[in-house]
Amino acid sequence: MARTLLLTRSEVAALLDPAALVPALRSAFVDYSARAEGRARRVRSALPGPGSATVLFPGVAPGIPAYTVKVHAKFPDQQPAIRGVLCLHAMGTGELLAVMDSTYITSVRTGLAGALAAHALARPDADTAAVVGAGVQGVQQLRSLAALRSLRLARSHDTVAGRAESFAHAMTAELGIRVEPTTTVEAAVRGAGIVLAATWAREAFILPGMLAPGAHVTTLGADEPGKAEVSAEVIRAALFVCDDRVLAVEMGALGGIGLGPEAVGAELGEVLSGAHPGRTSSEQVTVYGGVGLAFQDAVAAWAVYEAARRSGAGREVDFLA
């Protein structure tokens, strides 16, 4: 009898080890960029209310005998802003192995991917970071980056009153590095070696003249049509790296500012594999724009499922009964 494991958000959070995902995510990025065909695409549709719906189908990754289908929507005024479920199916039979909350998995795998890109593209000596958008994803970005490289100082900025201060206090205590709140984007990014942006902005706010020579920017807020964080002028002058060339234009950091595929220097998988050199000088500005890809969910969901099986977490239901 086929039975499906059900896992809540708190159970997923307890089972997922972010650091353990990094090697598998790295391999999956390399595999994705090496494939010219068979790439899973995102399907997005508008909702009649304030939310936007996204379907990621199917999520597959090397060495994982399962695929994922994620259906969730974004509601910027709610906490959490992302609400939905992730379904894990057996690759050979389609059996529904598990249904789990998508919120925590999405935030963690997005944070890890952004930090992986920042670590690969930033100068080796970059030890100062700016976080623009001090919400859930800002926390994950800085937390993930600090796990990959040593940071000396970080600054935070957010348009919501008090959020940058709360973020700075909490992350200073958690990471043991000095995190300073700022009142403007300019103050946050001034002199920063790494800029991490994750906002709901629909107009670019990282503009020419703001970034230090050799700075790196990871922009993750521009993941739907019409959203933008980094200006066209900054991207044209930089090495722009994305997770998927087509999606970067259709719904990512390029499309929102009117740029096309010619602006793409490489995909992250090409940089991680060595097929593209990535940064070529200490003065070069680099920008990573990721929309999020379904294989990231497969990597994370499989890790959660295996951990749940080992620990006996969750509960089972027979959907075919």
Pairing of strands 216-219, 178-181: unpaired
DSSP-assigned letter for residue 257: G
Q: What is the pLDDT of residue 321?
A: 83
Contacts of 253 (CB under 8 A, 6+ apart): 219, 222, 228, 229, 230, 235, 240, 242, 287, 289
Query: What region does 209 belong to: left with phi over 0, alpha with psi -120 to 50, or beta?
Result: left
Q: What is the pLDDT of residue 36?
A: 67
Contacts of 60 (CB under 8 A, 6+ apart): 40, 67, 91, 294, 295, 298
pLDDT of residue 17: 96
pLDDT at 154: 98
pLDDT at 40: 64
pTM above 0.85, yes or no: yes
The H or E element spanning position 187 is helix 185-189
pLDDT of residue 51: 79
Give the tokens for residue 247.
Answer: 């999606």
**Bridge partner residues of 286 (DSSP):** 216, 239
For the chain, which domains are there? 4-106+294-317 (3.30.1780.10), 113-289 (3.40.50.720)
Calculate Rg over the CA atoms of the chain: 19
Mind listing the pLDDT tens digit of every residue in the chain (321 residues)?
579 999 999 999 999 999 999 999 999 999 999 986 767 667 777 788 887 777 777 899 999 999 999 988 878 778 787 889 999 999 999 999 999 999 999 999 999 999 999 999 999 999 999 999 999 999 999 999 999 999 999 999 999 999 999 999 999 999 999 999 999 999 999 999 999 999 999 999 999 999 999 999 999 999 888 899 999 999 999 999 999 999 999 989 999 999 999 999 999 999 999 999 999 999 999 999 999 999 999 999 999 999 999 999 999 999 988
Distance of alpha carbon 215 from alpha carbon 238, whole angstroms: 10
